[in-house]
Structure formats: C-alpha cells, structure tokens
Structure 1
Amino acid sequence: MKPPSFEYHLPGGVEEAVGLLAELGEDAKPIAGGQSLVPMLALRLAAPEHLVDLRRLDGLRGVEERDGTVRIGAGTTQAAVQRSAEVARSVPLMARATPLIGHFQIRNRGTVGGSLAHADAAAEYPAVALALDARLEAVSPRGARTIPAGAFFTGLWSTALAEDELLTAVDFPVRRGRSGFAIEEFARRGGDFAIAGAAVAVELDGAGLVRRCGIGLFGLGSTPLRAPAAEAAATGSALTGIDASELGRTALAELDSVPADLHASADHRAHVGAAIVARAWRRAAEEAAHG
C-alpha cells in the first residue's frame, strides 16, 4: 500500500522542530530513521497530515559520558550505538541489546529516540531503559523536562510525550563495580520482534548481596514492563540464595495479563517469558559475581 498524502517539513534546528510540532498539533508526526513510522504509514495505521523530518538536527546525535551518566542523543542511530566503545564500556546492557534489533539495514537508519518514542512493547530499547532507570529528556516551546523511564511508557504505542514535545536525549546511569547485565529474547526468526524477552541489571554490595536489580520485560504486555515483585524478592539476598527459575515465575505471575496472538498463546508466551527471565538472571548474576 501507499501512504496517505502529507506535507513535508525539514527544520534546521530543535527550536524550529518543536515550534512546528506546537503549531501543527495532533496532525503532525516527527520522523527520524522512519523504521517504525514508514511501515505504519504504508499500512495506513498512521495518517498524519504533516511529517517533521529530524535528519538535520545534528545536536540530537552523539554519545557523551558526564557526571556518572552516559547521555545518548535521541537521533543517534542504533548502528552508532553498536559501534560505540563508550556505550560498550559504560552501558553494556544497551550495547548487548542493539544487535538484537531487526537487521543491520534497520539499525543503520533506526534511532535510539525513535525506538523509545514508538514504545513498541516487543522492542528491546524500552525494556533496557526501564531496567537501567534511564531518564529521558524532552523539549517543547515551554522548555525542557526530564521523564523517568518508569513514567514514560503509558500504553500501546503511546508515551508521556505531549504533542509539541520532542525527545532529545536519554541518560543512563553508569554502574561499575560488581555489576552484571544480560538480555535474552525468544523470536521465531532472527530480526523478528520478540515473542518474549527480558533485560536484567544486577548490582552487588560489598558483602555480595543484591543492592539493586532491574528486570525489564518486553513482548509480554501492551507496554514494556518491569517486574517489581521479582526485583523485590532478589534485592537484599545473596546470589546463591536466589532460585532463577522461581524468580522467572514470580516475574510472570505478577502480570495482569499476557497477550496472545498468531505467534503464541498467552500460556505459551508466559511459559517462555519465565524461562527467558531466568536465563537472563543467571547470566547477569554470574557476571556480577565474577566480573
């Protein structure tokens, strides 16, 4: 199918871009890499009257570490994240998630901000942002504000961004010391969206107890999710006292519902999801324990 007709805008800066979004309102959509929006246009799942192209906004691209955080510009491509030594060193969970996204052609065009703003429940980056307690920066004509990842994803393909707001960057806390990270997913083919997936971050204290853990789930609800009951069950415990399989079952048991579709029934997806959480936990815990 062909997309519906639209008016095309190519702003030269962030201020001009958010001005256009404010002026055009709900009839406008920003477009970066277009790897999510263009297929939706072609299928008539989206029909904006205006597209605001962000490709000239160089200030939205780049990776920078400062004050204990790594800031990744929203316009940074997934391929650039995959190549970044800074991301691999300081946000390893992000680096490990990136090769799982689609195919290299998609990663060459797709952007960090595009993936987060699209908020697909089966995508990797939103779950990573949740597991790492990322903070997302948005700009509008009213100024800039910071949104915690836990408050950013509000529903199916929807976020806390207002119509005139533009996602400009995401900040990830740098976790060093005795920390471990892992992401696991199950998909029918490489490059497909995950039927079930989990991103896990574990941090140990000086006594070897779990000081903090984050478990982000994807493909298991209408939004990317965290598993607070499973996180609470692990926090304060020694790794040797945590049963990974039981932790996986706890993570899935707390979900209100698990989606069913032509790829998997709800029961099958929940069974696979529990196993995926357990597998990711084992890998992250082993890395935290041994470095």
Structure 2
Amino acid sequence: MKPATFDYLDPASVEDTVGLLAEFADEAKVLAGGQSLVPMLNLRLARPAKLVDINGVTGLDHLGTDGGELVVGALTRQRLLEGSRLTTGAWGLLPAALHHVGHAHIRNRGTVGGSIAHADPAAELPAAVCALGARMVVRGVSGTREVAAEEFFRGYFTTAVEPDELLTEVRLPRWPARSGGAFVEVARRQGDFAQIGVAAAVALGEDGEVLRAGIAVAGAATEPVIAGDVVEGLTGRRPTTALVEELAGTFAAGLTPPSDLHGSAAYRRQLVRHLLPRAIDRSVRAALDAAPA
C-alpha cells in the first residue's frame, strides 16, 4: 500500500512549525519518528492533506536536567533516553518502559514526543509519564502552556494538544533520592503493544514507609489509568505484600477494560491484579538499592 497524496512541508524551527499548524490545522499531521504514522499513511487510515516533517526542526532533541527536573525534548529518540545515565531513581521507570517498546531498531528512530502525542492506550510511555507526574509542554502561535499528565490524555488517540499546537518537551519532576521505578507488562510477543502494562514509581522514607508513589496502567481503558486509590492507600505505610495485594485487587475489580481478540475484560482485570503488585515490588526493591535520602 502507498499513502494518499499529500503536500510535504519541512519547517526548520518551532515557530515555523506552529505557524504551519495554525494555517492548516485539521488538514495537517506532524511527522516525527514515523513509527506509528507512516504505517497509518500506507494503510490509508490517515489521509492528511499536509505532512509537517519536524525532523529538521532545531531545539527539539534535547535531554538534560533543569532545576532538578528531567527535561526531554519531543524529538529525543527513544533509544537515547533508554540508555541515558540521567534515568536513575524513579526515572529508571523510563528505560524499563522503553525496553518493551517495539525492538531496538524501532526505538532508534521512534521519538519520545511522538509516542506520547500519538496516545495509543496500550503504549508504554504514556503510562510511564503519568506514573512519574510529568508535565507536557505545548507550543502554539499564542504561546506556551504546560499540561499535567493526568489532564493530557483525553481518550483513544486523543490528547490535550490542539490541531494548531505542537508538543515540544516533557518535564518530569524530581523524586527523592531513595526512589525506584519499574514497568511490567504482558504482551502476545516481545515488541507487541501491551495487553496490560503497569508503570510504578515509589519513594521510601527511612523507616521503609512510602513517601510518594505513582502508578498508571496501560491497556485498561481508552487512555492510561492512574491508580490514585492505590497510591493513596500506600502513602505513609509500609508496602507489605498483603497491603499491596489488597489494594491491587480492589483497584482491578473497578476497571472496565475493553475486550478484543487478544483478551477479554475479565482477563485484563486479572492481569492488572497480578502485575500491579509485581511492579510495586520491583520499584520498592530499586528504591532500597538507591542512595539514602
């Protein structure tokens, strides 16, 4: 299959890009890594009149820290973030999640911002940034705004980014030194999207109690599901096996995941009930191995 006819646009700056998006709005699609969009174009599931290629845009592939936050440019390649020395502590959730994204050659080309903006409900990165409490920076002709992860994902392939806006970077808040992150999932094959994936980050106090936690689930709804009740139940308490399993069971029972050829709703709820304690346990173990606060 070949894509339908489109006009190819190659801006060199963020200003040029948002200008084009403001001009063409719903007619345009942004091309970053292309690992999701190009197959959709070839299958004619997407038929944009204008294709805006941002690979030549300067200033979108940065990766570093700013005031204690981890800052990831939208064009940062997934493989670069996966191997970064910056992803320690709770931020270790990011390489753990990225390890499950496709295969190495896909991550070499795929971008962090592209995966987040695509907002596939079974994708790993959206769940990871939700668990870490990230903020997405969005730029339009009228200026820049930040959107919290819990408000960013609006449904199936839908985000808070307007047609005339561009996701430019992801900012992840600082976590305590004694913190850890983990991602676990069940997929039909290595590299497939998750049937269920669980992203977890935990920070521990000196006595082993949970100071802070973040948990999100992929594949259980039309967008990542943030397990707020589980986080609330853990905070200020020791994450014992009995407590975690009780919280996971209650949380899973309240989910209404989709059913499809790859698994029923009941099967997905069972996966959440089993995977969520595993993700928390791995996060706690990572936090215990981290330097003391």
TM-score bracket relative to the smaller structure: over 0.9
Asked whether the 8 Å contact 2:89–2:178 carries over to 1, the reply is: no
Asked whether the 8 Å contact 2:77–2:108 carries over to 1, the reply is: yes
| CA distance in structure 2 between the partners assigned to 1:171 and 1:273 by the alignment | 27
Change (3 A) 1:85 1:288: closer
Which structure 1 segments of 5+ residues have no match? none
Corresponding residue of 2:288: 289
Corresponding residue of 1:263: 262
Change (3 A) 1:130 1:71: same
| CA distance in structure 2 between the partners assigned to 1:234 and 1:158 by the alignment | 30
Query: Which residues of 2 match residues 47-196 of structure 1 at below 5 A?
Result: 47-88=47-88, 91-196=91-196
Number of aligned positions between the proteins: 290
Asked whether the 8 Å contact 1:139–1:167 carries over to 2, the reply is: yes
Q: When the two structures are superposed, what TM-score results if normalisation uses the length of structure 1?
A: 0.95
Task: Give, in angstroms, the shift of residue 4 of structure 1.
Answer: 1.2
Over residues 172-209 of structure 1, what are the superposed CA-to-partner deviations in whole Å (9 max), with x where a residue is unaligned? 11223221211100011100000011000111234432
| CA distance in structure 1 between the partners assigned to 2:49 and 2:12 by the alignment | 20
Of the structure 1 ranges 90-99 and 185-194, higher mean CA displacement relative to structure 2 is found in: 90-99
| CA distance in structure 1 between the partners assigned to 2:104 and 2:190 by the alignment | 11
Q: Please say if 1:19 is aligned against 2:16.
A: no
Task: Give, in angstroms, the shift of residue 125 of structure 1.
Answer: 0.5
Q: When the two structures are superposed, what TM-score results if normalisation uses the length of structure 2?
A: 0.95
Query: Which residues of 2 match residues 1-16 of structure 1 at below 5 A?
Result: 1-16=1-16
**Structure 1 residue runs of 4+, over 3 Å off?**
none
| CA distance in structure 2 between the partners assigned to 1:12 and 1:119 by the alignment | 25
| CA distance in structure 1 between the partners assigned to 2:263 and 2:158 by the alignment | 24
SS of the equivalent of 1:270 reads: helix
Over residues 151-176 of structure 1, what are the superposed CA-to-partner deviations in whole Å (9 max), with x where a residue is unaligned? 00001000000111100000111223
Corresponding residue of 1:239: 239
Q: Please say if 1:203 is aligned against 2:203.
A: yes
Letter in 1 for 2:111: T
Asked whether the 8 Å contact 1:229–1:250 carries over to 2, the reply is: no
Report percent identity of matched pairs: 44
Which structure 2 segments of 5+ residues have no match? none
Letter in 1 for 2:266: D
